[in-house]
Amino acid sequence: MILVFGKTGQVSTELQFHKDVIAIGRDRADLSNPSSCAEAIRQYKPRVVINAAAYTAVDKAESEEYLANKINGDAPGAMASACADLDIPLVHISTDYVFDGLGTTPWSVTDIPKPQNAYGRSKLKGEQAIKASGCIHAILRTSWVVSSHRNNFVKTMRRLSETKDRITVVDDQIGGPTCARDIAQTCLSIAEQLIQDPSKSGIYHYSGQPNVSWCQFANAIFEQMDCKTIASPIPTTEYPTPASRPLNSRLDCEVTQDTFGIARPFWRDGLEKILRDLEGDDDRA
């Protein structure tokens, strides 16, 4: 049995389409109460744990950093400690926000993190706690997660296209859109490989290809929808937010492919499936 923390998020929703997955939400394990997470692991005694739950309100985290640290930092640490005690592998989803987002070179797993906002600092705290626990683990950093579930960029663009012929979207933030369905499958594959070979523990990167700007991604969505809406480019300075966003979200994913045999997915393929799901033609039954 695979125990998944998170029940309604994008990746956790996708994980629940797979057999042997038990997903628990806040009613069973409240991440703001880290000890409840450790207790859930001890109760279920799974083969592997996947943490797909997180505090993801990037802007709100600027004023709620204590809560973000509790959920994104302390809770994964408690999970990792329980996993270490029971010799259970932990797969933990992290983010490119642990970096400062400068430059144009894709971030390597060996690059030194330097988060530029409260959300990034809280996620880095979780990574550090997991490594310090000594448990078998894979920390999977990803970026720009999209799906047919919850709020995300694809659903926002689709909604805006219903009423607008032209919108403005930032064009100087570059990254790899990553479909939650692909992340879920990758987490499951990594989990099984960790069970067989704990020496694969470490930090890994995983994002869709090719890298694009948000504006380019928006126009790709409109093109695939065959609608007339056009996204026009603006710089990040014209779209201020409480939390600063990284301009460079590119991730070097070669170590993930070399270690697990998992290549970067093509986001256009995933986008096609997402749009089909949103039209009510979900083919995963």
Q: Residues with catalytic annotation?
A: 119
Residues 154-178: pLDDT tens digits? 999 999 999 999 999 999 999 999 9
Could you tell me how many helices (H) and strands (E) the chain has, helices first? 10, 13
Amino acid code (one letter) for 154: V
Domain boundaries, the chain: 2-278
Residue range 61-70, pLDDT digits in tens: 999 999 999 9
- In words, the CATH class of domain 2-278 is alpha beta
pLDDT of residue 6 exceeding 60: yes
Work out the pLDDT band at 280, boundaries 50, 70, 90: confident
Which pLDDT value is given to residue 139?
Answer: 98
Band of pLDDT at residue 281, cut at 50, 70 and 90? low
The enclosing H or E element of 157 equals helix 153-161
Q: Is 104 exposed, middle or buried (0-12, 13-18, 19+ CB in 10 A)?
A: exposed
Say if residue 99's pLDDT is above 70. Answer: yes
